[in-house]
Amino acid sequence: MMYHVIYDGNCNLCVTLVKWLEQIDRGSRFRYVPMQDQKMLDRWQITSQDCELGMILIDADAPERRWQGSAAAEEIGRLLPIGAGFVELYRSLPGVKWTGDRLYEQVRDNRYTLFGQRDTTYHSNYPLCHEGQCEL
């Protein structure tokens, strides 16, 4: 199964996390689209206002299946090798998920202040579209 990760390509934290995910996954499950690529986002009817709510994960086989924000981060973690157990533990501990969701919102809303903004948009080594060919 393939998934599309929509991330903020201008956010230093977001780009660092995408690069880390690229090293772990090497394009086997995840392809990446920066939120700044509105032409690609239009294919899924995703607006810039939608992107303000955080990263988005889309199931490539069933694009109506989507996760956003902290739910997207959890689902990505669950899909990684040995990640499912950690995500289940995280979700099962009383108050931890609620706290994690609030922390995600704070980081999302203040990411440029906390981590800085890039001068240029980062484009992944594992993009959804490469040389005009798209994996939709």
Distance CA 53, CA 37 (A): 16
Most confident of 14-18, 40-44, 91-95, 132-136: 14-18
Question: Could you tell me the residue ranges of all domains in the chain?
Answer: 3-129
pLDDT in tens, 105-136: 999 999 999 999 999 999 999 998 755 555 55
Look at residue 37 in the predicted model and tell me its pLDDT. Answer: 94
Look at residue 130 in the predicted model and tell me its pLDDT. Answer: 55
pLDDT in tens, 59-77: 999 999 999 999 999 999 9
Q: Is 33 helix (H, G, I), strand (E, B) or coil?
A: strand
Look at residue 32 in the predicted model and tell me its pLDDT. Answer: 97
